[in-house]
Amino acid sequence: AQEEKLINDLKKNIEAYRNSKFLSNFDNRYKSHLTSYHVMVFRAINNRFGTYDIRDIDIYFDASSVSEKLLRDRLIESKSEIIGAIELVEENASDPSGLKPVMQILKEQVDDCFEKTVIEIGQEVYKYIKDNLAPQSDSNEFWEYAKNRWGKGPGYRKDVLEQYSNQIDGVDDWLSERVQKLWEQKFMDNILEFFGEG
């Protein structure tokens, strides 16, 4: 009965993290990442619609990396606390109960689901940014502006980054919603499945 209580308590503890409480500030992070490129490199990136092969730069892939880092920063605490709750059961379980190895497997599953969730969201961000800056051609007013703004007085980078913000306007609301949805479906539900239906 003690083992059953440990498991029921653990399930409740994990369920308490169903709300990811994730609030995105991707737009700012992405712009500050783009600001880290030298202005001439930034110009070259814009002249090539976001990819600068010689320097192995792809701003869509960058978006994916920025979002993955943001997710890890924001969600690692919840993940760590879930792992902590599992370790508590591991410590308190008696050897005959057979719970210790089961908790090891559950911890691995938490790590695995976390990684998969973060990577999947990163891939969605890649597509979101690419779609919002499409078409990647001169027919797109955004890219036309980014190219033509060069050489027209100071503030090139600031002005162009402002246009980036306009193009991806709403990204933070979208990302906050997607993270909550995938956190529940890909992370929480997969971990809670471990406990079966009872």
**Higher-confidence position of 156 and 4:** 156
Q: Give mean pLDDT, residues 151-174.
A: 97
> What local confidence, expressed as pLDDT, does residue 101 receive?
95
Q: What is the pLDDT of residue 113?
A: 97
Instruction: Dump pLDDT digits (tens) for 37-50.
Output: 999 999 999 999 99
Q: What letter does residue 185 receive in the DSSP assignment?
A: I
User: Which residues 6+ apart lie within 8 Å of 163 measured at CB?
Assistant: 142, 145, 146
Mean pLDDT of 99-106: 95
Query: What pLDDT is stored for residue 1 in this prediction?
Result: 74
pLDDT of residue 198: 43
Residue 197 has pLDDT above 70, yes or no: no
Mean pLDDT of 163-168: 97
- Which pTM does this prediction carry? 0.94
Number of other CB atoms surrounding residue 119 within 10 Å = 13
User: In this prediction, what percent of the chain has a pLDDT beyond 70?
Assistant: 99
- Which amino acid, residue 79? K
Q: What are phi and psi of 104, to 5 degrees?
A: -60, -45
195 phi, psi to nearest 5 deg: -90, -5
pLDDT digits (tens, 9 = 90+) for 56-88: 999 999 999 999 999 999 999 999 999 999 999
pLDDT score of 107: 98
Q: By three-state DSSP, how is residue 51 classified?
A: strand
What would the mean pLDDT of 159-187 be, rounded to a whole number? 97
